[in-house]
Structure 1
Amino acid sequence: MNKAKQQARAAALFAAALALAGARAHAATPAPAEPLKATVSHWWTSGGESAAIRQFADAFNRAGGQWIDQAVAGAEQSRASTINRIVGGNAPVAAQFNTSRQFRDIVDQGLLNNLDDVAAKNNWDRVLPQVILDVIRIDGHYYAAPVDIHMPAWFFYSKKAFAQARIKDEPRNWDEFIATLDKLKAAGLIPLAFGGQVWQEKIVFDAVFALVGGPELFLKVYRDRDVNAVRSPAFRNVLVSFRKLKAYTDPGAPGRNWNDATALVVSNRAGLQIMGDWAKGEFLAAGQVAGRDFGCFPGFGPKAPYIVAGDAFVFPKTAKPNIVKAQKLLATVMTSPGPQAAFSARKGSIPIRPDVDMSQLDMCARQGLAIMQDTSRQLPNAEMLVDPDLNGALQDVLTNFWNRNQTPEQAQQAFAQAMKDNAW
């Protein structure tokens, strides 16, 4: 073999060796890990809500997940969709419920994965408020990841509307509140922005109940299901005070969505709204600033009860390893300090844990966080204390009282009967 052929053969062998080495190196390089996909069912569809949940989605994606959004408009419709999908074998990876007894039935039926290891690793027992732990921990196991604390009885008001009505101070008691509404009405404004839907009527009723009736009566009725308390003069006074507010609503209130009621305050056409602090997200989405464009107060006076509510995500039962990993990653991300602060800043809620960066939170949220440090002011919301069937029955009683010509005594009787018919 001449020298030229030897050199050519050597070059070919070298090239082949390089190709083989490259192939082996390529084979030895692991393929990029597939993201942990998570279909997430929820009902957050308004402007402020969408901006808020995007914080969780982005954080989950950065952590190695792939968020697949499955929003269903309307809380009841979303929960019904989730339950139907679980029963039908097409469950989402995670689904929203309120921090309440709404998911207790599917826990009892063994249809949810627990989060015990996530809770232990992230010290939920130490960092979460007891009122939240009492709902998500069932028979010693954790079945939901709480993502926010909402207070459903905030009072939001338009600074411009208050100035137009020559109102200088926030009301300090119920009588001053009624006087405030009278001044707004006299100024040609809608005094109370109201959404005439059953759940909104119940929210306003419970706000009146806690403030006018007081926490003791509130707990006697909802926690203890004391029929004598329902028949008391004090409870009758709560009903009378509640329906008195109807005179301050406008003709367009029936059937109005909550965010459309909030928009009346945002646009200064209405003076005030009683709503959960999720309404604040609508003010923020409109570019308004708490303390400058709108005001907020959580009841009357420095010791007003602070009703605790919120949202949580549950994780339907599965044994598929990648789905379980996605569920645990999602629960960890949603409850971590960074995403908690970013979410709450846009949602209007306060974080579930105190060790977050407060710089993103507005004056209303900071006020709520300070109040939560005083456990004597914490009052569980009604849905933490009664099951969904009873809550629905009581909503029906209250909407009948609000919208029909019933006497307070008739409403008391119907309320007591609903409690008897839905006894545990």
Structure 2
Amino acid sequence: MYKQSSGAARIAWTLLATAAFAVAGHSEAAAVATAPKAEVMHWWTSSSESAAVRKFAEAYRAAGGVWGDTAIAGADQAKAVAINRIVGGNAPTAAQFNTTKQFRDLIDQGSLNNVDDIAIRDRWDQLMPAPILDVIKVKGHFYAVPVDIHMSTWIWYSKAAFKKAGIVKEPATPDELFAALDKLKAAGLVGLAHGGQPWQENILFQAMLANVGGKELYLQVLRDRSPKAINSEAFKKVLLAFKRLQTYVDAGSPNRNWNDATAMLINGRAGVQIMGDWAKGEFAAAKQSAGKDFGCIAGLGPNVPYLIQGDAFVFPKTNNPDAVRAQKLLATTMLAPTAQLEFNKLKGALPILSNVDASTMDLCAQAGMAIMKDKTRAVGMIEVFLTPDQNGALQDVLTTFWNTRMPVEKAQKSIASALQD
């Protein structure tokens, strides 16, 4: 039977409970104070990208960390802010870059912590593709944590637009692609959904170099920067194919964002887009399915190089043990199999480690995984071979060639000049 406590007893119980709550509150506050806190700087701001990066944030929090999200629209802007903060002594815990030479200066300046212990533990040398390893591993040390594999030059097409234009067969050669674009244009549709921005024109150029020129010419031009190859008839054919693509874009193309171009396929207004596989995230966000609503072509031929790069996080130099602990926890959680699958399904990319089971991913991802098994097909995209300055100079030439009546021979000479050291 319940018996009411006396006044003294009630006071004693109140004091005891207050003390207990104080101890519990102090313990909880202490736990929060000692949890690894990470400010993660990135440029993932589109709807699909935001959904994807939340998976990393959730994994980090589940592992006991505190995720601080610093999203900056625009890759170039985000990288510039990250570099300025690192140089200025106010670095974030982690900063996003692409798996290219973008962060090589930071390595050379001793501004980054390495992640050798995690790379060795997780067997990166055996499980990551060579073009990725070539840029993250410098003088025997690993300086970035790649989180995905993107292929830059997928050819996406709208099933509804193809049906309206009477295209019954998926293009399998460059000639068949141009024939399909002609049919789309004749049907009153936009043949090529494109955003007139230098980096997007760079992607179109890479696509034509890979699909029209082939692997050997691709490497001669970008890796070797051979003047002979650049001034060849074969390369002239590539440039003319690149320029021909402009005849299929609409008047609203200049300065259009890439995801707005993807939306033109989603709503059936345009037929084709040449863009990296991050575009697939926009289809997913619109509840469209690969093979049903849209198609994906990795290459116009069985031996076309599969041009890869991806996203990676670098960890600015610090000796603060709490910051280092946060960096290592980030590296571990981002590469965990579940986080890799959930992130890359939304991002549209492939998992970075080849031992992650990707059997539940969509058919475009499955096609990419199958191609990656042939290690001769995986080739670095343009920025894997070029410095930021060289890439910028090349983009200037390509954009001028795209938007003016520059003779193709002058474009060849200008590209040869732009790619020299």
Q: Identify the TM-score tier after normalising by the shorter chain.
A: over 0.9
| Structure 2: stretches of 5+ with no match in the other structure | 1-7
> Matches of residues 182-331 of structure 1 in structure 2 within 5 Å?
182-331=182-331
Q: CA deviation at 1:359?
A: 4.4
Q: Secondary structure at the match of 2:370?
A: helix
Q: CA deviation at 1:360?
A: 3.6
Cα deviation digits, residues 351-379 of structure 1 (max 9, x gap): 11122232441100111011101011111
- Please give the alpha-carbon distance, in whole angstroms, between the structure 2 residues aligned to 1:98 and 1:182: 35
Larger Rg: 1
- Please give the alpha-carbon distance, in whole angstroms, between the structure 1 residues aligned to 2:131 and 2:282: 27
Per the alignment, residue 364 of structure 2 pairs with 364
Confirm or deny: 8 A CA contact 2:82 2:91 kept in the other structure.
Answer: yes
Per the alignment, residue 115 of structure 1 pairs with 115
Per the alignment, residue 4 of structure 1 pairs with none
Cα deviation digits, residues 63-83 of structure 1 (max 9, x gap): 111111111111100000000
Confirm or deny: 8 A CA contact 1:112 1:315 kept in the other structure.
Answer: yes
Q: Does 1:402 align with 2:405?
A: no
Partner amino acid, structure 2, of 1:142: F
Confirm or deny: 8 A CA contact 1:208 1:238 kept in the other structure.
Answer: yes
Confirm or deny: 8 A CA contact 1:342 1:360 kept in the other structure.
Answer: no
Partner amino acid, structure 1, of 2:275: M
Identity of aligned residues (%): 57
- Please give the alpha-carbon distance, in whole angstroms, between the structure 2 residues aligned to 1:380 and 1:120: 23
Per the alignment, residue 388 of structure 1 pairs with 388
Cα deviation digits, residues 310-356 of structure 1 (max 9, x gap): 11000111111111000000011111211110011001101111222
Confirm or deny: 8 A CA contact 1:211 1:300 kept in the other structure.
Answer: yes
- Please give the alpha-carbon distance, in whole angstroms, between the structure 2 residues aligned to 1:97 and 1:186: 41
- Please give the alpha-carbon distance, in whole angstroms, between the structure 2 residues aligned to 1:108 and 1:289: 44
- TM-score (structure 1 length as normaliser): 0.92
Cα deviation digits, residues 176-228 of structure 1 (max 9, x gap): 11100011111110000011000000011001001111111111111111111
Confirm or deny: 8 A CA contact 2:39 2:94 kept in the other structure.
Answer: yes
- Please give the alpha-carbon distance, in whole angstroms, between the structure 1 residues aligned to 2:301 and 2:174: 10
State the number of aligned residues: 408
Confirm or deny: 8 A CA contact 2:359 2:366 kept in the other structure.
Answer: no
- Please give the alpha-carbon distance, in whole angstroms, between the structure 1 residues aligned to 2:71 and 2:204: 26
| Structure 1: stretches of 5+ with no match in the other structure | 1-10
Partner amino acid, structure 2, of 1:266: I
For the aligned residues, what is the CA RMSD?
Answer: 2.1
- Please give the alpha-carbon distance, in whole angstroms, between the structure 1 residues aligned to 2:51 and 2:359: 18
- TM-score (structure 2 length as normaliser): 0.93
Cα deviation digits, residues 114-159 of structure 1 (max 9, x gap): 0011112222122212221111111100000001000011011111
**25, 31, 34: which one pairs with 1:33?**
31
- Please give the alpha-carbon distance, in whole angstroms, between the structure 2 residues aligned to 1:309 and 1:112: 20
Per the alignment, residue 73 of structure 2 pairs with 73
Q: CA deviation at 1:48?
A: 0.7
Partner amino acid, structure 2, of 1:356: V
- Please give the alpha-carbon distance, in whole angstroms, between the structure 2 residues aligned to 1:305 and 1:129: 14
- Please give the alpha-carbon distance, in whole angstroms, between the structure 1 residues aligned to 2:413 and 2:130: 34
- Please give the alpha-carbon distance, in whole angstroms, between the structure 2 residues aligned to 1:77 and 1:147: 20
Q: Secondary structure at the match of 2:102?
A: coil
- Please give the alpha-carbon distance, in whole angstroms, between the structure 2 residues aligned to 1:30 and 1:182: 69
Partner amino acid, structure 2, of 1:152: S
- Please give the alpha-carbon distance, in whole angstroms, between the structure 2 residues aligned to 1:141 and 1:358: 28
Per the alignment, residue 61 of structure 2 pairs with 61
> Matches of residues 133-144 of structure 1 in structure 2 within 5 Å?
133-144=133-144
Per the alignment, residue 5 of structure 2 pairs with none
- Please give the alpha-carbon distance, in whole angstroms, between the structure 1 residues aligned to 2:264 and 2:81: 31
